[in-house]
Chain A
């Protein structure tokens, strides 16, 4: 029972991290404006750009192989309460990564979680609207091919 609670908690936290990764730097910045508590945090280690080797699987599902690297911006921050927040984002935007680490930390705090979730709503809405539009545009290219029957000659 405890295990499943921990899992759903982790899943919810991962979802917030995923949203911040998909959001723009400005969006995460605006989100933090609703959370003045973020000002008191310190950098656990300075934000940094590094590489992560991405991996594929043979046949899409089999044994792994190294596909190629990606640039990743990393940040970790600590609130005055001791709570630590992390972010690893594709790309090189250190400002955004640090902001997202703050969001991760504040989401873990009972006092601020609700406000983080509320502030994420417009981002979530924008991203799902884009995804829905892309899905509709893709769906319009779904094709039905007919096999032509060749003539007798």
Chain B
């Protein structure tokens, strides 16, 4: 346990001044503006929004600047901000089929209806450092093609569902009882809605590692990427005083529909199963990890033996939040003087007893 301490105000104030000075960096180099972070470090902004669990690109960019690019610190700032603001209510749940697609790929069918759209992607780059970026070369204007007019891009899972080859999604009729872990502390076993909420805001690195572990045999689920979609979608809020769903604007989301190996029973013929991932901004690594772990955590529901960490919901959900994790790990820096004094006394006493014991033994 850490203890309260007094004093040190001057040193603390000076430390924070020094931090601000360090944040500014070399004064001969122009200062970075939050707009530049928002516009040019979009993936950092997306991660801070997703794990900060707050969609606000401008605020996330400012938090990144304040945190000197330390994304977990920025996420912490965002979480702290949201506790200071009143909640107006819950948005109308989005159906991702309505998304304006900027990227859509599937690893399951080469010629899926609606086509494969690469969009802006790091895939197929050679991961070679591009020194032209340091030289400030303007990129060429992007190529233009012929869009398919008014096309409803049918989700791949819907196609499989038509043939009964994949399990149905949990019914949308139960919308009024959606769990919210920002209102009630997480309890175990947690229902899938709460698990998805926790995973959506969970640490990308932690979830990535766990997702990887399922691929390496710790809770194998035999996954395929059914579909990854990135795009913008309208969100709306059913405002009581207005009387209908008011359009709020558009948000960028990344969705991953993972298709996994089979479930079935004496009464139910075998079917593919699903894992689902949905995150703010453009982050398919996170969406894919989330989908893999969502599926792994459905072990009990699907009658699978729980053996691996990724299948243990208490292990996963209690440790995936990086603000909680950093709070508890980093609190070790705080004064533990009293605790440590007690331990120091204890170890001295044990050593004394040990010495006395040894010399008695030697005497015998």
Residues of A within 8 A of B (CB): 10, 14, 17-18, 21-22, 48-72, 74, 76, 86-92, 131-147
Contact = CB atoms under 8 A, between A and B. Distances in A.
A119 B146 CA distance: 31
A61 B92 CA distance: 12
B250 interface: yes
Given A18-B249, A51-B87, A69-B54, 13 more contacts: A22-B250, A51-B54, A51-B82, A54-B235, A56-B196, A67-B196, A68-B53, A70-B235, A92-B59, A136-B147, A137-B145, A139-B145, A143-B116
B273 to A, nearest CB: 11
Given A18-B234, A89-B249, A92-B56, A136 B91 contact: no
A71 B246 contact: no
Interface string B155-173: 1011000000000111111
Contacts of A61: 95-97, 155, 158, 169, 172
* 7 nearest A-B residue pairs (beta carbon): A62-B169, A139-B145, A59-B169, A140-B145, A70-B55, A90-B249, A18-B247
A128 to B, nearest CB: 12
Contact of B148 (A65, A137, A139): A139
A7 B120 CA distance: 38
Contacts of A131: 100
Interface in B171-198: 171-175, 178-182, 192-194, 196-197
Contacts of B253: 56
Interface of B: 49-50, 53-56, 58-59, 82, 85-97, 100-103, 110, 115-120, 142-148, 155, 157-158, 168-175, 178-182, 192-194, 196-197, 200-201, 234-235, 237, 239, 241-242, 244-251, 253, 255, 257, 274, 276, 278, 280
A49 B58 CA distance: 14
A59 B56 contact: no
Nearest to A135: B147
A63 B193 contact: yes
A134 B94 contact: no
A49 B85 contact: yes
B146 A139 contact: yes
11 contacts: A14-B244, A52-B89, A55-B178, A57-B95, A57-B96, A60-B255, A64-B175, A91-B56, A136-B147, A138-B103, A138-B145
Contact of A141 (B97, B118, B197, B251): B118
A68 B257 contact: no
Nearest to B50: A68
A52 B181 CA distance: 15
Max chain B Cβ within 10 angstroms of own Cβ: one of A48, A57, A137? A57
B100 A50 contact: no
Given A51-B86, A91-B56, A137-B143, A68 B242 contact: no
Contacts of B274: 59
B247 to A, nearest CB: 4
Nearest to B149: A135
A26 to B, nearest CB: 15
A72 B86 CA distance: 10
Nearest to A147: B110
B102 A63 contact: no
B241 A70 contact: no
Contacts of A14: 244-247
A138 B172 contact: no
Given A14-B245, A69-B53, A135-B147, A142 B94 contact: no
A63 B192 CA distance: 10
A52 B54 contact: no
A55 B244 contact: no
A17 B237 CA distance: 12
B169 A65 contact: no
Contacts of A74: 88
B81 to A, nearest CB: 9
A50 B93 contact: no
A23 to B, nearest CB: 10
Contact of B88 (A18, A52, A138, A147): A52
Contacts of B157: 59-60
A61 B12 CA distance: 51
Contacts of B192: 58, 63, 65
Contacts of A145: 110, 116
